[in-house]
Structure 1
Amino acid sequence: MVNKTVLIVEDEEKINKMVCDYFKFNGFEVISATDGMEAVDKFNKDIDLVILDVMLPKLDGFTVLRKIRKRSDVPVMMVTARAEDEDVLMGYELKVDDYIIKPFNLEILIAKAKVLLDRIDSMAKEKHKERKDILKYNGVKIDKLQMKVFIEEEEIELEPKQFEILKYLMENKNIVISREKLLEEKWGYDYYGNTRVVDSQIKKLRKNLKDKSYCIKTVFGTGYKFDVE
């Protein structure tokens, strides 16, 4: 595991040091806290994982988790000596990701942490991949893979050329695209018509976009742009 930072929150000094050392040995950057207040103070946006004991001085683990959840969806593994159903349910209500029961095996703790972080990373990659296939601005969304267009999540029908023009303008949001450039990109070098065909398709496209037609701005004497607020 590389470039991952873990916050270890444990009030028993011996256990805290043991867990911190083991995470460091496995390639983690480690931040340590020995009470709830310190944990809240040390928590920051660069932390990738929290190992959080339930029984803590000053603020208990559930209170710490509530405060963290107001700021972040960071994965949290709670450590407890009490395996009571009420505590477990409380943790899951607060969106804890996993439980470790004391006494625990350090190798299992690390294995669980790595699996959890790998899953988070995989989900982030899938989400990023999906974003690359989706364009969404001002309530207009294009699914490039399925060649579908939505206005406020309601699908609309566009002719293929209108779809291509809208996609190109959205991919180049806030950039003025000349009629000549649109003609070249969407009709090709071999097209011998004039730029009025672009104006005609833009007019039809605006009509199909209905109350979102304002997104396509005319830049007089030049061309068009998809205006993102």
Structure 2
Amino acid sequence: MNRDELVSFLDEYLQISAYPDKSSNGLQVEGKEEVKRVAFAVDTTLKTIERAAKAGTDMMVVHHGMIWGGLEYVTGFHYKRLKALIESGLNLYVAHLPLDAHPEVGNNIGLLRLLGLEPKQPFGEYRGLSIGFYGEFNEAQPIEKVAQVIAEKLDTTVKTYKFGKREIRTVGAVSGAGAFALEEAHRREIDLLITGEFGHADYLTALDLPQSVLVAGHYKTETLGVKSLMELVREKLGLSVFFIDEPTGL
């Protein structure tokens, strides 16, 4: 498949231009014109680039790209990554917020669906756009049961902060660094926020609101979108695809 045709498909499907995102979404680094095999990964690192190149891929599609707000200097690890991409001829395509927010293959719709929930409304406002969703159980579930399902289905360690409701009816999902949605969750009376990472200040905010939270790992909560997009590309475009798993434990 021609690279530009694939890029156009991804740009349109993910609505790349709709998101105020400093991560330079879309085709970040141009490589081979013909794409037969595509690697999908959460992160752009020297290791994921080398694994993609070794496997004979023509493009990497990632959630976390290489360029955040522009590159001023191509030195150090930036140089190593860019050199590896250029020497291997790999295209690098990035979908950050667009992949969090997508209503079909996104990270946050994926988190809800792990629990058997469909989105009720958008949730998690970031720079004027909601990038998450919330859903509702038919019957309230113990927070421990919700945590167990997420832990098992994501194969991750879940930390549970029972500062608010312990019987959960409504669940908001914002993957990765989604603690910015704590106050919105409390204001909208959403019983539980599921996110990826949780800092010292986030803990204190959740405690004082109070707001119950499940923290399932930045990396693990953001594998859902790239894997779902990978399957879509396989089914719709007939390209050879594979997932590069490089967990950080965070």
Using structure 1 for the length normalisation, give the TM-score.
Answer: 0.22
Considering only CA atoms, is the larger Rg found in Structure 1 or Structure 2? 1
Bigger relative contact order, structure 1 or 2, given CA contacts below 8 A and separation 6+?
2
